[in-house]
Every structure is written in C-alpha cells, then in structure tokens.
Amino acid sequence: MITESKALAEILARVSPLSPRRATLAECVGGFSTKAYTATVPLPAFDNSAMDGYAISSADLEKGKRLRVVAEQPAGLDKNLNVQPGETVRIFTGAPLPTGTAAVVMQEEVERNGEFVVLSAQPQNGEFIRRRGCDLTEGQEILARGQRITPVVAGLLASQGFAEVEVGGCVQAALISTGDEVIPPGASCGAGQIFESNSTLLAGMLKQLSANVISVAHSPDNPAKLRREIDSAAANDVLIITGGVSVGERDFVQEVLRAAGAEIDIWRVAIKPGKPFLFGRLKNCFVFGLPGNPVSAFVTFLMLFRPAILKLMGASGGAFGLAKIRCELSEDVLNDGDRVHYFRGRHEAGRFSLVGRQESHALFGLSRCNGLLRLEANGHLKAGSAVDIETWE
C-alpha cells in the first residue's frame, strides 16, 4: 500500500498530454487551451453609444437646451458624423460615436418635436459613451496556455474573431462495472441484488470533465467475461473499472488485467474511503480500478483519476486539484485510522459540517454533500478550526 501523494505523483509521471487538436468555438468549451491567446481586437472596438439616444457636444451639457437633429447614426455602419454646438445626432446602442460627442442623452430624457429635441434632464459629461479599449486592449492575454475554456472565455474568443482554437486532445473513456450482485437500473432486482449505480455516477463525472464516454459495460465476476470487456475497452485512452479490485476470491480485475498484458503500477492506496485502488496500463490505455463502494469510487475519482485526465487534456499543473474554500469547522473531527481520510460534508456560509454516515456505501449521504475535508492519519481538528474544504460543485 502506498500513500496518496506517492500514488498521485506516480500516476501523473506516467500520464502525458494527448496530441492537441483544433476545435471550433462550439466544441472547445470544457477543453484546455494548448497555447496562449492575446487580444487582437480592443473591446469595445471603437467609441460607441451605450444607449438609444442623442449625441450632444460639450457646449450643450445643460438641461432645457433645444437642439436640432441633423443626422442619424445607426449601428453597423460608420457614417463618420460630427456634432456641432446647437445640434444633435440621433444615435443607437452600439453605433459609432460622431466626433465632438461629449455625452449621449438617452431618449427617455428628451422631448422630441419634429427635427428638434429639448433636454429634459441635466446631462453629465461622458455619459453613455463606451470608449474604445476600456474593457480590453490589444495585446492583453485573454487565455493562458493550459487554462480551461469556459463559455465566457469561448465568447471572448468569438469577440476576437477566432473561429477555432487549439485545445488539448479529447479523452476517449470506457467504463466497466463488475459484480454478480449488481443489475442495471430498469431491470427487476431480486433478493440479494442491488442496482448498478457507479456507471451512472462516473459517466456523469467524466462528462463534466468533457471526456467522451465511448462505452459503458458490465461484467459479472467471471474472468472470461471480464477479459472480453477489458479487451474491447482497451482501445480508449482511459478505462475505469469499478468493483472487483480488492482482495476477495471474487475480485478478478487485477488478475484479468495482468493476463491481458497490463502493467499494474499501483494497487492499494492509503486513502479512506478508497483503499482498493488500482492503476496500470494496457497497451495505450490507462486503466484505473476504482472501489465498488460508490463513495470510495467518487473520492478516488476526484483525488487520483481527475488529475490524470486533466493532465491528458492539457490542463496546466495548477489546475489539477479541486477548488478549495476556507471554512470554520462546526464540530470536532478525529481521524483515528492510519490512512488519510476524506470526510464528506456541506459548506454553507463559511461553515463546514459533516453530513451522513461516513461510510463508503452511503450514497444518499454523499448526495447531500458539497465538500470534502481532508484529514491526515491520526489527525484531530477542533470545532472552530479554519479548514480548506475541497469542493466539486
């Protein structure tokens, strides 16, 4: 059995980023940029109006002024207009500003009579003007290498005219659940049987990471059947097998993987929940054996699998861990075991409390949680301590 940090270091040492690809803006969200992008277009791109209204000159910043409407400036076409004292240009949101504009008066603050307007409120110098480059200037970095592309960042790339970006490879993933006792949801469940839930949980988490879930299969605890599933799943970049990774006579995963030609680098990690964890490689496929117990599968996915998939996808080093939020612990927490323990709980308004049974089968309890408290072996934390809670939502 090795420590969690050694296991993670070894996994990350073996995994290297997949080849980059070009992705359209629609495809790139959730991916990691493989190069830095800088702005080529300032935002706003030109001085423009923030309102539908009237452009006025600095000589006319006065309530009650009566101005002649001399021209109209729509959005989408720069008519290269100019405003003179005593005159105004009818203007629309996003339209280029006529030279000499000191302010745009919104149309609700004028009375219009034919070709004249009267200002019904005191205009302020500069109001409703959006200056070129006030948000973003040319040459500013908009996306760092290894940064995740969110919908907002994809929108920003679009605002720069990029139709495609270079992102890390898309991970092709396969899932195999194991166990004679587990049957698919929708079938009828006999005495002693349980519904299979890990595939649903793990496929959902894979999709949240923008992996392509290529296949989801189930094998009973039967070496020949398991071998067939493993052989066909090994064509992917990663394979997750849940259950059957432990030490019982019905746990065949390790033995079948070895028979299929896999190298097993890690088996059993000092982490709770999650000790029966396996990592190896079969041809070009990284194989992760996660415990059958749902909470253990969840925790090992986050702590040992997620960093690997992020590295495969081209994430930068700093992005491998979960986000942390500083909280005050609402109760004493003791880890009297010899493995690092991830306690499940909820953070809310800066306080963290344990939730549900801290047992590896307790999926309902987990469903009410939004954070993990990591506590080293033999660690003890007092109520009121400041702790960094790892979050996944």
- Chain positions contacting ligand AMP, by CB under 6 A: 177, 179, 181-182, 194, 196-198, 242-246, 276, 291-294
Indicate which of Mg ion, ligand AMP, none lies near residue 160 (CB less than 5 to 8 Å, by partner kind).
none
Q: How far is the CB of 228 from ligand AMP (least distance, A)?
A: 18
Tokens matching residue 125:
């110098």
Indicate which of Mg ion, ligand AMP, none lies near residue 146 (CB less than 5 to 8 Å, by partner kind).
none
Q: Are 174 and 236 in contact (CB under 8 A)?
A: yes
Q: How far is the CB of 381 from Mg ion (least distance, A)?
A: 34
Tokens matching residue 70:
């001399």
Q: How far is the CB of 235 from ligand AMP (least distance, A)?
A: 22
Residue 96 contacts Mg ion per CB under 5 A: no
Residues numbered 172 to 191 that lie near Mg ion (CB under 5 A) are: 179
Q: How far is the CB of 209 from ligand AMP (least distance, A)?
A: 19
Q: How far is the CB of 11 from Mg ion (least distance, A)?
A: 23
Question: How far is 294 from 292, CA to CA, in rounded Å?
Answer: 6
Nearer of residues 330 and 358 to ligand AMP, judged by Cβ? 358
Q: Are 271 and 301 in contact (CB under 8 A)?
A: no
Q: How far is the CB of 219 from Mg ion (least distance, A)?
A: 10
Nearer of residues 136 and 183 to ligand AMP, judged by Cβ? 183
Nearer of residues 53 and 243 to ligand AMP, judged by Cβ? 243
Stretch that binds Mg ion, among 110-118, 162-170, 239-247, 259-267 (CB under 5 A): 239-247
Closest CA to 245 of 306, 311, 171, 305: 305
Nearer of residues 87 and 251 to ligand AMP, judged by Cβ? 251
CA 80 remoteness from chain centre: 44
Helices within 2-144 (DSSP H only): 4-14, 25-28
Q: How far is the CB of 248 from Mg ion (least distance, A)?
A: 7
Tokens matching residue 268:
């059993």
Strands 141-143 and 37-38: antiparallel
Q: How far is the CB of 328 from ligand AMP (least distance, A)?
A: 34
Question: 264-300: b or e for each residue (b if 16 or more CB lie within 10 Å)?
Answer: bbbbbbbbbbbbbbbbbbbeebbbbbbbbbbbbbbbb
Nearer of residues 98 and 179 to Mg ion, judged by Cβ? 179
Q: What track of x and - describes contact with Mg ion for positions 130 through 169 (by CB under 5 A)? A: ----------------------------------------
Residue with tokens 């992008």: 37
Nearer of residues 96 and 179 to Mg ion, judged by Cβ? 179
Q: List Cβ<8 Å contacts ≥24 apart for 155-163.
A: 157/25, 157/28, 157/37, 158/25, 159/41, 159/43, 160/37, 160/39, 160/40, 160/41, 161/40, 161/41, 162/25, 162/37, 163/24, 163/25
Q: Count CB neighbours of 388 within 10 A.
A: 14
Q: What track of x and - describes contact with Mg ion for positions 287 through 316 (by CB under 5 A)? A: -----x------------------------
Which DSSP state fits 33?
B
Interface residues with Mg ion (CB under 5 A) are 179, 243-244, 292
